[in-house]
Amino acid sequence: MELFVCGDEIIFNEVSPRPHDTGMVTMASQELSQFALHARAILGLPIPEIYQISPAASKAIVVEGKSNNVSFGNLDKVLEEIGTNIRLFGKGEVNGHRRLGVILARDENTEKALAKAERAYAKLAVQL
């Protein structure tokens, strides 16, 4: 289930019976990601105490257009800042609106992490 916290409200978004890419931020923010926790849960493995490594944020890489040959440039510039990572989903074609990956960033608070992710995103070049 995906929920968003908006001020004092919790807003329901969707139910997915799998880990969701919007939760990829857990790969940067906590000891066990949502993917590791999902695997442990379905395999009946122990789930230890979950703790945060660092505040983190993500920025989705979303494009609009049509192409059978998507490529990415400036990856070296995207990864210049310490605590920044990029996950590309390996989708080679776009027909309309498509999420192609996510940029993850850690920092001392979520606001700084989000600013870092957005700076990295601004450096990314996606060719359709």
pTM > 0.85: yes or no: no
- Could you read off the pLDDT of 58-104 as tens digits, one per residue? 999 999 999 999 999 999 999 998 999 999 999 989 999 999 999 99
Q: Where are the domains of the chain?
A: 2-127
Sheet of strand 94-106: strand arrangement = 56-67, 94-106, 84-88
CATH for the 2-127 domain, from 3.30.470.20, 1.20.120.80, 3.30.420.10, 3.90.730.10: 3.30.470.20
**Residue 26 reports pLDDT greater than 70:** yes
Q: What are the residues whose beta carbons fall under 8 Å from the beta carbon of 7, sequence distance 6 or more? A: none
